[in-house]
Chain A
């Protein structure tokens, strides 16, 4: 069974890019376009790994992480933050919230897949 990814990002472009990269690498791809929908989808899809944007309408990425880590889902699946900012503050905050790792936009396919592989054990 292939590894299920849930990507949460309000940008259609980014979702498209992720879909192409991840489906190409053999992941089962699911997506949501904001935090609230992401959390909803999480219960439905039961992904093996979550990729989330930070700045989104309705619920931002920190909200998603906090919700998944301490909300009713209370999950330990890896959550990867996808962000354009790479400052140490953001990393610390993401880690504090319970993020597993981060990917800085713009990302390239190889590094994206490599991070996912590292955090999920997915075999390409």
Chain B
């Protein structure tokens, strides 16, 4: 394992620790006196500090240290957690995350907020503790050059040249505890011997009679003579660990070094070499100590580094996974082709072949789902990031907000999670800024002064649902409509349904806040959110009740690589339309069709009139009207609500592999991607929302919205 990969794992571990930190702080909010929780928080910060020290990330160490010191005071009950301190902990956690990120990317962290938080944390510490911080600050160089790691000298460091040799007489009387603590005098002597010439004499005068011998007592004293050029402090350092476990006298002898007797007894003397063995396991005859169940018969110790941990994981290059996904896509196409070929053969009695083929299809789907699962990740980290956004937004607006997350173990494709971060951030900020009322207003209304934002994720019928719900005032539809008219986005005469008014929010450049607040008003509108979600093959919808709050729902496909579609024909061309977008298929009865004006046509569906959109016409295909006797697909679109798409015929329902059109050809209005069908032909995949927008004279839509802004997340 190389140094850089250890560094990588350090930052990976930091992610986990920061996650645990956020979780722990949230739990502290519930119950700050739960010592388990406080300890877990402390440990997370402490571990980050420990690792950071190893990579000389001094700023991170310093900050973590201060954070940890304050947390330690809570842990030792010297400090009570109030709301203010809790907030400071949250912010410290955020700052710590910033510092980790900065360290990982090798950039400068935000010094201003760091200093501010350090100062606030410092206010909870007394002078001595703060001074300790200063000492920490003052010594950062020591980390790089010579880590202050160990209080021991380099034993083998022989001084250059021939400095003056001196003779030390050492009397060393170990206590029983010295042996009990695992020390071995001979090893100490070895260390001394490395400093110069050592002679050792064992003083056996305290050795008792055999029948009164206590194997755990220390009865041998030692007289040592060391001839060395080293300083006396170096000698003391050798004894550092046994300090307080022995009696030790070190004297510099005045006698010249030459007079050292050369014939001192060798320490290899059997008695001298074997100090009383305190290990009860060895002299079984001499001890009454019962043998514990410690010794297991078999020594099974396979080398394992991560025996437990949360769950074993495997780190895989993302490219490899994507390659696999691609190949599986090809496999599915291949399976479709084989099915089609067999059909074409028109073999007699192919029942079992069809069965096998069906099994093959299921297997291919299993494999595909398995591969997708590799890319799937829980939304938890994403949701956790939102807690910070909520906190910051609440602070900036002076509102009180409680964030509730539901279903954060829901798994979503990695790319989706990554690209969802910005839109979600924006929506959460919006919810705090525009959605929730001020605390005093809420109190007036009889609501809890603290607003609540509920972030939830779930899997439903092959899609991922992500909801951002606030319990605020709800959308002010009158104002939204006024604003839209004012901005010329909608004509003053237009009669819009509530849903249509809500959807005005998604028009480019729309902003309801009468003054651009410093929070949400960053030039990013809901249109960008919508486009980002659309780029992921998803859609956003709004539900709002005045006085009760607003809920934004993002619906995303489970995967970006494969989808279930209807194979349809449009003016004799084969195309695919996502099944997820289709509510109902209708074989129209001419009785239910009604013309409106010259172009318009509606169908009455259970009493309601639904506009019909001719797909062939909207795509500009020749043979307009070719599908007039075809099938209608009822879809719900963003701009227009319920719409019926007229297509020629439905041929098949199948899983298709999505191939990007934009990266292979270019964007086509009304078309989201392409796929390869079983016969090897390419078919376009339609995007109902965009398709409907192409209607020349929209029946309900406000004047054509300005051109689509560039996708931020594409």
Contact = CB atoms under 8 A, between A and B. Distances in A.
Given A78-B182, A119-B183, A100 B54 contact: no
A55 B187 contact: no
Interface in A61-78: 69, 71-78
A104 interface: yes
A114 B646 CA distance: 81
A30 B300 CA distance: 12
A2 interface: no
A30 B292 contact: no
A17 B1 CA distance: 9
B30 interface: no
B279 A76 contact: yes
A118 B191 contact: yes
A31 B305 contact: yes
B42 interface: yes
Interface string B309-337: 10000000000000000000000000000
A107 B155 contact: no
B222 interface: no
A51 interface: no
Question: How extensive is the interface on chain A, given as a class?
Answer: 35 or more
A62 to B, nearest CB: 13
B46 A37 contact: no
A32 B306 CA distance: 7
A20 B1 contact: yes
Contact of A108 (B47, B149, B186): B149
B53 A105 contact: yes
Interface in B620-678: none
Contact of B152 (A20, A31, A56, A118): A118
B141 interface: no
B292 A73 contact: yes
A13 B293 CA distance: 33
Contacts of B51: 11, 13-14
Contacts of B1: 16, 19-20
A29 B147 contact: no
Interface in B10-57: 10, 13, 39-40, 42-43, 46-47, 49-51, 53-54, 56
A90 to B, nearest CB: 12
A84 B50 contact: yes
Nearest to A79: B182
Interface in A23-62: 28-34, 37, 41, 43-46, 53, 55-57
A12 B289 CA distance: 37
Contact of B301 (A44, A105, A117): A44
A99 B309 contact: no
A41 B149 CA distance: 27
A14 B190 CA distance: 29
Contacts of B143: 106
Interface string B262-300: 000000000000000011110000000100111110011
Given A43-B296, A84-B49, A119-B182, A107 B147 contact: yes
Given A100-B182, A114-B154, A119-B183, 20 more contacts: A13-B10, A13-B51, A14-B54, A16-B6, A29-B303, A33-B308, A44-B300, A57-B39, A69-B181, A71-B294, A72-B293, A76-B181, A79-B181, A79-B182, A84-B49, A101-B241, A105-B50, A106-B143, A106-B149, A111-B150
Interface of A: 10-17, 19-20, 28-34, 37, 41, 43-46, 53, 55-57, 69, 71-79, 84, 86, 92, 95, 98-108, 110-112, 114-115, 117-121
